[in-house]
Chains A and B, each alone.
Chain A
Amino acid sequence: MENIIDFAFVGEVFFRLLAYVPITLGLAISSMVLASIWGLLIMVLRLRKIPLLGRLAKLYILVGRALPTMVILYLVFFALPVVLLIFSDATGREVTINQVPAMVFAVLGLSIHTGAYLAENFRSAVQSVEKGQLEAAVACGMTWQQGFRRIILPQAAVFALPLLGNQFLTLLKGTSIAFMITVMELFGAANVLCSENNRYLEVYLVVALLYWAISAFFEKAFFVLEHKLAFFKRGMKP
């Protein structure tokens, strides 16, 4: 048995990999924040049927959800340098690709991917709130923006949170792909450990455990948050 699992090694791997958890979390959380803002914007463009921009938003949602995360990541990784090159040609300011950490590409790519899903999640959440409340808001003289922000969004958030939680867990595991564009996160570090020590089972067991622990934590966190935001359904002040 000790040949299959070396427990001392498991302990060592655990502590070495623990150091990479913040990187994975950083990737996931910053992508989630960016994607949420971006997704909200895209959703509003679509919902309000803004000319041209609304159509572009629709196209983006289509493409963003159609491509595998890895393809988007590669596209960003190889296309952005070209954009930067054009930028430095146009402005005369020297921006080379080496100045941009790979982490930035990863966050961008993951945000683009997640934002497309979130835009749709947000739309379904907003449309779950009775339209009549927005009518009531504008009928008493509020602007669409005021009614949307003060009345619709707080209620839509309750509908959106389970979907948001789902999406976050998907994203969290999606960060393992960032390794493909040289970001040394949890999964990447695990792969390195494997090849350094020529042992696989222990490393992947620890990786699985870590992903599970992070996911379990956030699952609970989202649940608590959802409960808090739904205060008006229980008839209690927040």
Chain B
Amino acid sequence: MITLKNIHKAYGDNEVLKGIDCTIPTGSVTVILGPSGSGKTTLLRSVNFLERADAGEIILDDLQVDIAKATQKEIHELRQRTAMVFQSYNLFKNKTALENIAEGLLVVKKMPKAAAQERAAFYLEKVGLAEKAGAYPQQLSGGQQQRIGIARALALNPDVILFDEPTSALDPELVGEVLDTMKQAAAEVNCTMLVVTHEIGFARDVADHVIFMEDGKIVEEGTPQAVLNTPQEERTKQFLARFISYTEYNI
């Protein structure tokens, strides 16, 4: 279980997160929705300290981190227990697909080389890219790169995987394969998934829990049915009305 308590973050005078409180149960898929600039990505990046929030608490099972006083050791432990999938994939460009997945296992998990490669191959197979093991990121499509990004996160067997708009940089044609990979991961793997996305369809089909954010605050949260079909807040209704009118075509 991961709990965020009263997270605050400001860039100068611009307050991006205005006290976020939420609890994400172990093994659940939680989708964070919201308009651009609502602070979704900043919130996600605060969890593994890629962005250092100003105040608040992050509690991951037995690991309790007070953001304002977090030590390097705590940050490092938090990062070792989480993994992230990025909007722009951020694969290691000097490593092959297989090496990208094996890298964390070798360096962070200190696995022997053969075991790390075997495990990397297993996850590469899982995302359907076994034949691309020796390819460098430069030679792969965006969708393939992102699937490798997902395999890289899964292979670490983290408690939580943070997805930061994983399909936003993709061609519309390639979005499907990445969403399918995520769905498959959600079904097969028992780790918690925290997903920032604009894919309402994905939220409806896969999420256990939906959080709607706006202007640095959580406006509404609940099951996908509750938030997406019968939203209570005016702002959520507005947002969904605009979104669903055009996403409906895909569904």
**Residues of A in contact with B (beta carbons under 8 Å apart):** 129-130, 132-133, 135-143, 146, 150-151, 154-155, 232-233, 235, 237
Complex Cα spacing A154 to B156, Å = 23
Known A-B contacts A233-B138, A235-B135; the reply to A140 vs B79 at CB < 8 A is yes
Residues of A with C-beta under 8 A to B202: none
- Report 23 cross-chain contacts, Cβ distance below 8 Å, ordered by A residue: A130-B88, A130-B90, A130-B93, A132-B88, A133-B92, A133-B93, A135-B86, A136-B84, A137-B92, A137-B103, A139-B84, A139-B162, A140-B79, A140-B83, A140-B152, A142-B104, A143-B76, A151-B92, A151-B103, A155-B93, A155-B94, A232-B94, A235-B139
Any A CB within 8 A of the CB of B22:
no
* Supplied contacts A138-B79, A151-B94, 8 more A-B pairs, CB within 8 Å: A130-B90, A133-B90, A135-B84, A136-B92, A140-B152, A150-B103, A154-B94, A235-B138
- Interface flags for B76-111 (1: CB within 8 Å of A; 0: not) read 100110111010101111110000000110011000
Nearest residue, chain B, Cβ from A137: B92
A142 touches B108 (CB 8 A): yes
Q: Which residues of A contact B91 (CB under 8 A)?
A: 133, 136
**B249: min CB distance to chain A, Å:** 32
For the complex, give the distance between the alpha carbons of A138 and B50 in Å.
8
Complex CA–CA separation, A141 to B93 (angstroms): 18
Query: Which of A136, A140, A142 gathers the greatest number of chain B CB atoms within 10 Å?
Result: A140
CB of A132, distance to nearest CB on chain B (Å):
4
| Chain A CB within 8 A of B48 CB | yes
In the bound complex, what is the Cα–Cα distance between A155 and B93 (angstroms)? Answer: 8
Q: Is the interface of A mostly helix, strand, loop or mixed?
A: helix
B93 touches A232 (CB 8 A): yes
Complex Cα–Cα for A158 and B131 (A): 28
**Residue contact B93 to A136, C-beta cutoff 8 Å:** no
Asked if B153 is an interface residue, CB under 8 A from chain A, the answer is yes
Shortest beta-carbon distance, A25 to chain B, in Å?
31
Q: How far is the CA of A92 from the CA of B95 in the complex (A)?
A: 55
User: Which residue on chain A has the smallest CB distance to residue B101?
Assistant: A140
Does any Cβ of A come within 8 Å of B122's Cβ?
Answer: no
Question: Please, which residues of chain A bring their CB within 8 A of the CB of B134?
Answer: 237
Q: Beyond A232-B95, A235-B135, is A142–B83 a contact (Cβ under 8 Å)?
A: no
On chain B, the residues within 8 Å of A136 by CB distance are 84, 86, 90-92, 152
Partner of A140, one of B94, B108, B136: B108
Q: Closest CB of chain A to B120's CB: distance in Å? A: 13
Q: List chain B residues, Cβ under 8 A from A151.
A: 92, 94-95, 103
Query: How distant is the Cα of A146 from the Cα of B152 in the complex, in angstroms?
Result: 17
**Cβ-closest chain A residue relative to B135:** A235
Q: How far is the CB of B91 from chain A (nearest CB, A)?
A: 7
